[in-house]
Amino acid sequence: MLKLTPEYLLKTYDLMLKSRFVEERLIKMYKQSDGYFWIGGPGEEAFNVPLGLHIKKGHGLDYDFLHLHYRSSAIYLPMGIEPIDLFRQMKNTLTDPFSGGRNFVNHISKREWNIVPITSPIETQLATCIGTGIAHKRHGGTGITIVNGGDAGTAEGEFASCLIWASRPKEELPILIIVMNNSWGISTSCASQHSETNISDRAKAFGIKSLTMNGNDVEASTFAIREAMMYVRTERKPWLLEARVSRLYGHSSATGANYISTEVDCLTEFEKKLLDDNLITQTEINGMREKYNTEFIELVKKVKQEPMPDPKSIYDYTYSEQKGRYW
Ligand X SMILES: Cc1ncc(C[n+]2csc(CCOP(=O)(O)OP(=O)(O)O)c2C)c(N)n1
Among 43, 78, 185, 250, binds ligand X (CB under 6 A): 185
CB 118 within 8 A of CB 53: no
User: What gap in Å lies between CA 49 and CA 64, rounded to an integer?
Assistant: 16
In angstroms, give the least distance from the CB of 171 to ligand X.
Answer: 27
Task: Output 18 or 71, the one with its CB closest to ligand X.
Answer: 71
Other residues' Cβ atoms within 10 Å of the Cβ of residue 47: 31
Tell whether residue 200 is a contact of ligand X (CB under 6 A).
Answer: no
Residues numbered 39-98 forming contacts with ligand X, rule: CB under 6 A? 71
Other residues' Cβ atoms within 10 Å of the Cβ of residue 199: 19
Tell whether residue 297 is a contact of ligand X (CB under 6 A).
Answer: no
Binding span for ligand X by CB under 6 A among 78-86, 179-187, 223-231, 271-279: 179-187
**131 CB-near residues (< 8 Å, 6+ apart):** none
Write the binding mask 89 to 118 for ligand X: x where contact by CB under 6 A, - elsewhere: ------------------------------
In angstroms, give the least distance from the CB of 303 to ligand X.
Answer: 26
DSSP 308: P
**Helix residue spans in the chain (DSSP H):** 6-31, 45-53, 73-79, 83-91, 125-139, 157-166, 218-235, 266-276, 282-303
Write the binding mask 247 to 286 for ligand X: x where contact by CB under 6 A, - elsewhere: ----x-----------------------------------
Stated as kind and residue range, the H or E segment containing 150 is strand 145-150
Task: Output 61 or 152, the one with its CB closest to ligand X.
Answer: 152
User: What gap in Å lies between CA 267 and CA 285, rounded to an integer?
Assistant: 11
User: What gap in Å lies between CA 94 and CA 309, rounded to an integer?
Assistant: 5
Task: Output 186 or 314, the one with its CB closest to ligand X.
Answer: 186
Tell whether residue 122 is a contact of ligand X (CB under 6 A).
Answer: yes
Backbone φ, ψ for residue 236 (5° rounding):
60, 40
In angstroms, give the least distance from the CB of 269 to ligand X.
Answer: 20
Tell whether residue 242 is a contact of ligand X (CB under 6 A).
Answer: no
Q: How many residues bind ligand X (CB under 6 A)?
A: 15
Tell whether residue 186 is a contact of ligand X (CB under 6 A).
Answer: yes
Tell whether residue 120 is a contact of ligand X (CB under 6 A).
Answer: yes
CB 270 within 8 A of CB 16: yes
Catalog residues that contact ligand X under the rule CB under 6 A.
71, 120-122, 149-153, 180, 182, 184-186, 251
